[in-house]
Amino acid sequence: MNVFATNIVLAVIWSALLGELSLFNLASGFALGFAALWVIQPLTGASSYFFRVWAWAKLVVMFHYELIVSSIDVAWDVLTPRHRARPAIIDMPLDVKTDAGILLVTNLISLTPGTLSIDVTDDRKTLKIHAMFADDPETLPAGIETRVESLLPVIESGLADDRVDPAGDAGLVDQLVEYNVDRQVEFLRSDSSVPDSTTVLGFVYDFQAVYGDSRGRCYLVNRGGETAIKSLRDCVPERFEEHVQRLLA
């Protein structure tokens, strides 16, 4: 039985124990079952199921937030004398490539008040959107732009590092993730608010089975600035040695 099916069974059992098969009992049972399955991962083996559920939960919360904010904006513009609407057709780059992914993105955008998906270009790289509030269609929203710009220095320094090989067997993004973990460890070690007696550990959560054969496992890649695999493995129990890996030399 896969992890999702087990989670559903636990939710039904929980509802049965409470004596009522209600949506609330099923939801609470699902949450409790999810937590229990997460805790016993060392016994049952790691699974990408937990990451997928967390990602879907974040998507649902984010969509409902945007839905509420957009509904208020549209209602305010309709009900007040001053109209702020600046409709325009804008092009949004598409990161998803699958039919299901494109379908999900276009429907979520169309469901959000003030925006409507119009068409996907033939190369499937751009989505055309009619936006009700498009004061400057050529610029990214401030929040997104700020987050992107904050990553640029790390990415640029990573690309300049001799250990990062864009043509290597390991993907460039995965190498940059490990490089960023090293940077975070060094930042914490140099921070005066962190006691000298504290050992800073750097872990990578492997979504794509880059470090091993299984998705969803954590790997130790840095211990207080030490990155040599042999030295790192000497610091952990023997049964965890396979969870010490690195992409960068």
Same-domain status, 115 and 166 = no
| pLDDT at 175 (0 to 100) | 85
Range of the domain at 27: 3-47
Same-domain status, 128 and 211 = no
Same-domain status, 93 and 132 = yes
Same-domain status, 37 and 64 = no
Same-domain status, 230 and 149 = yes
Is residue 248 situated within a structural domain?
A: no
Same-domain status, 10 and 55 = no
| pLDDT at 32 (0 to 100) | 92
| pLDDT at 246 (0 to 100) | 93
Same-domain status, 233 and 188 = yes
Side by side, which strands form the sheet with 126-131?
88-93, 126-131, 115-120
Q: How many CA atoms lie within 13 A of 92 on its CB side?
A: 23
201 in Cβ contact with 218 (< 8 Å): no
| pLDDT at 99 (0 to 100) | 78
Show the tokens assigned to 58: 């974040």
Closest residue by Cα to residue 77 from 111, 113, 108, 110: 113
Is residue 87 situated within a structural domain?
A: yes
Is residue 92 situated within a structural domain?
A: yes
Q: What is the pTM of this model?
A: 0.44
Per-residue pLDDT of the chain (249 residues; tens, 9 = 90+): 588 889 999 999 999 998 888 889 999 999 999 889 888 877 777 677 777 777 777 777 877 887 888 888 788 877 777 777 778 788 888 777 777 778 877 887 887 788 888 888 888 888 888 887 776 655 544 443 444 445 556 666 666 777 877 776 667 778 888 888 898 888 888 888 888 889 999 999 887 788 888 888 899 999 999 999 999 999 999 999 999 999 987
- Tell me which of 115, 139, 163 is where a domain ends: 139
Specify which residues 138 forms β-bridges with: none
- Tell me which of 90, 110, 139 is where a domain ends: 139
Q: Output the CA torsion sign for 96, 97, 101, 105.
A: positive
Q: How far apart are CA 91 and CA 178, in angstroms?
A: 33
Is residue 196 situated within a structural domain?
A: yes
Q: How far apart are CA 107 and CA 89, in angstroms?
A: 17
| pLDDT at 141 (0 to 100) | 44
Structural domain total, the chain: 3
